[in-house]
Structures are given as structure tokens and as C-alpha cells.
Amino acid sequence: MDDDIPYLLLTPGPLTTTRSVRQAMLRDYSTWDVDYNSLVNDVRRRLTRLASDSDEFTTVLMQGSGTFSVEATVGSVIPPDGCLFVVNNGAYGKRIMAIAQRLQIATVEAAFPETEPPDVAAIDTLLRQHPEVTHVAMVHCETTTGMLNPAAEVGACVKRHGKQFILDAMSTFGGMALSMESESADFLISSANKCVQGVPGFGFVIARKTELERTEGWARSLSLDLYDQWQTMEAGGGKWRFTSPTHTVRAFAQALDELEQEGGVTARQQRYTANQRRLVAGMRALGFETLLPDTLHSPIITSFLFPTASFDFQQFYDDLKARRFVIYPGKVTNADTFRIGTIGNVHPADIDELLNAIGEVRTAC
């Protein structure tokens, strides 16, 4: 663990970053200068490459947290008379619904329980019943529970129906092997402070160029207009329309270098998987149970049930924080849970230390 961080973040983002990523922020840039703009375009190119070998895609960066990029996508790419089909099995699916409703976009919802994966056959039937649907949106890893949703299967189904597929891969992109092709995605959304291990400040949308080109004038928001942002980045050689998070972008470029140095997405996925397996085995040995069966799990974050009805989460949290570990509250509706993330600059040795700390805290309470 770095000496200059008071505790390790075992959360779904912002994550524990490396010192070198944080150090990359010690430089000011002008948003009008070629040094910065070429850095932006380099980041865009590298993100596109992480998602596909094909030239059919481009990447647009958007100010704000990940939700701003989800809202920019939903608000910009659905035609004025379009209809969004939302697959919802958790808080982030629900958020996509809320965004569409707030923007007065017609929606069809395929709702599933938080602890169950979306049923592809049911989605197929609903899509047949709703020819008015133009786009389908879903979350890849539903960070509410840690469930890995069957995005590739749903994406293939969406394509059989001839619709466009929007994937919120916020908490998996960079940390799990996936591509625009493997998920049949037309728009894939993630942000700087998740598995690429940058710091917060912007999100990004990897988009099929031919689909993005059609969207001129559709955006329901000025600042979150994905098409305009794209056009400005293309025409201006990496310029953003409004003040951009310059320090965050430089840190992100460093984080991309470090992703490569680690051995790319495959190596990072192996580390996250090792973290998560070690965590679950150790927690079970300490008497905790996971909310989900192992078969539904992502390596990103894990929900654990409260061990007893009288379990005091706040006390548990404070005791762990005093031992340099910050965990995350639960978000599931029908069960008392807490969550532990296994992404970021976190390694199996850190998980061992965490388990020791949890062992101490458990015996004490």
C-alpha cells in the first residue's frame, strides 16, 4: 500500500489509484493548446482501440461523472420519435429508465429482480411485442449487486431485432475482456475512475460512427450533446466544447500506460478475479455469505449479507477504516448487505490484509 494514502478504497469508484497516476496531475494545461489537444485525441484513439480493431468506431469524451455520459448518450442518440427499451435488474438499470423518463423519451421496461440475471428469452418476446423500440440499453456489471449481466447474449438478440444497443459498461470496461463486436454494442459507456484506474472527472462513449452521424440535432441538452461534442473534438483536433478536466485527462493517459504495462485488459481481469476469489473464500471462512451464487458474479464488486440481524454496519465500517480499509454500503432493496470492491490498484496481498482486519473486527464485535 502507498504510504501517502490513508486507506485503500474497496469501492466501485473512485478507486485506489497509483501514485504515478496522481502525480500526472501536477501539470497545468491550456485547453486551447496543441499539447493538451493531442493528448485528448491520443486518449480517444487508445480507448477506441481497447474496444475494437475496426475503424467503424470513435470515442467521445464527456465532462462529468459516468452518469453524465449515460445521460448524454440516452439524450442524444434516440431519435425524436424513438423508443428506448431498458433492461433493468438493479439501481443502474433503474437510473437509465429515470434518465429516459426525465427526458420524456418513450420507454419499454424489461424489469427483473435484483438477484436474478435478465432473461434473454423474455427480452426477445418483449422486443417482438414492441416494434416501436429503436434502442435497447442495459448495464453490463450491475454494480448494485456485483452481478455480471449477459450483455453479449442480449446484444445478439437486439441485433436479431435490428435495434441499436447501448451498453453501460461503466464498471467493466478496462477490467474485463470485451469488445464492441463481442457485445454487439453500438454505444458503450464508461468513465475515467473505474477499471482503467484514472481519477474522476469525465466519462466516455465509444460509438459506431455511422450511428453517431445520424444523431445531429437530436440532443435534448446543450451541454450533454454527444454529436456536438464529437464534432468539436474531430474538427478541433481534440478540443472540448466547454472547460475540460485537463488534469484528469493527463492522469487518465498515465492510467492507460499503466494498463498496458500490467499486460492489458486480460492481465487486469486476472488480477481482479484473483482478488475477488480470495475475498469470497476468506469471507466465507469468516462466516459471511455472498448475496449471489458464484456463477452470477463479476470480479468487480461483491455483496455480502449482514451476518446477523443485529450486525452494526457503521461500526464494522469504522473499525475497518481505522485499519486502513474503506468498504461500501449495500444497495439491494430486499436484503441487508454491504459491498466490497476488488478493482483499482488493489492486489491479492491487500485482500489478505483486509481479511485479517475483518477477522480482528469480527472477533471484537
Ligand X SMILES: *Cc1c(COP(=O)(O)O)cnc(C)c1O
Choose between 167 and 361: whose C-beta lies nearer to ligand X.
Answer: 167
167 neighbors 181 (Cβ within 8 angstroms) = no
β-pairing, 337-341 vs 301-305, is antiparallel
The distance of closest approach from Cβ of residue 74 to ligand X in the complex, given in angstroms and rounded to an integer, is 12
- State how far the Cα of 346 lies from the Cα of 344, in Å rounded to an integer: 5
The distance of closest approach from Cβ of residue 323 to ligand X in the complex, given in angstroms and rounded to an integer, is 26
The distance of closest approach from Cβ of residue 292 to ligand X in the complex, given in angstroms and rounded to an integer, is 15
- State how far the Cα of 361 lies from the Cα of 311, in Å rounded to an integer: 12
147 neighbors 125 (Cβ within 8 angstroms) = no
Choose between 143 and 302: whose C-beta lies nearer to ligand X.
Answer: 143
Q: Which H helix or E strand runs over 91?
A: helix 91-102
- State how far the Cα of 324 lies from the Cα of 28, in Å rounded to an integer: 31
Choose between 41 and 149: whose C-beta lies nearer to ligand X.
Answer: 149
The distance of closest approach from Cβ of residue 95 to ligand X in the complex, given in angstroms and rounded to an integer, is 7
The distance of closest approach from Cβ of residue 133 to ligand X in the complex, given in angstroms and rounded to an integer, is 21
* Radius of gyration of the chain from its Cα atoms, rounded to whole angstroms: 20
Detail the DSSP E strand segments found in the chain.
8-9, 57-63, 83-88, 106-111, 135-139, 141-142, 147-148, 164-168, 187-191, 202-208, 301-305, 325-326, 328-329, 337-341
Choose between 292 and 355: whose C-beta lies nearer to ligand X.
Answer: 292
The distance of closest approach from Cβ of residue 194 to ligand X in the complex, given in angstroms and rounded to an integer, is 6
Choose between 139 and 180: whose C-beta lies nearer to ligand X.
Answer: 139
The distance of closest approach from Cβ of residue 144 to ligand X in the complex, given in angstroms and rounded to an integer, is 8
**Using CB under 6 A as the criterion, which residues of the chain lie in contact with ligand X when the complex forms?**
12-13, 65-67, 92, 139, 143, 168, 170-171, 191
Taking CB atoms, the residue at the shortest distance from ligand X is 66
Choose between 171 and 254: whose C-beta lies nearer to ligand X.
Answer: 171
Choose between 105 and 195: whose C-beta lies nearer to ligand X.
Answer: 195
Query: Reduced to 3 states, what is the DSSP secondary structure of residue 47?
Result: helix
β-pairing, 57-63 vs 202-208, is antiparallel
The distance of closest approach from Cβ of residue 18 to ligand X in the complex, given in angstroms and rounded to an integer, is 20
The distance of closest approach from Cβ of residue 145 to ligand X in the complex, given in angstroms and rounded to an integer, is 11
Choose between 145 and 345: whose C-beta lies nearer to ligand X.
Answer: 145
| Longest Cα separation, the chain | 61
If one counts every other C-beta atom within 10 angstroms of the C-beta of residue 98, the result is: 14
Choose between 205 and 361: whose C-beta lies nearer to ligand X.
Answer: 205
β-pairing, 164-168 vs 187-191, is parallel
Helix segments in 165-324, DSSP class H:
180-183, 209-213, 226-235, 246-262, 264-285, 313-322
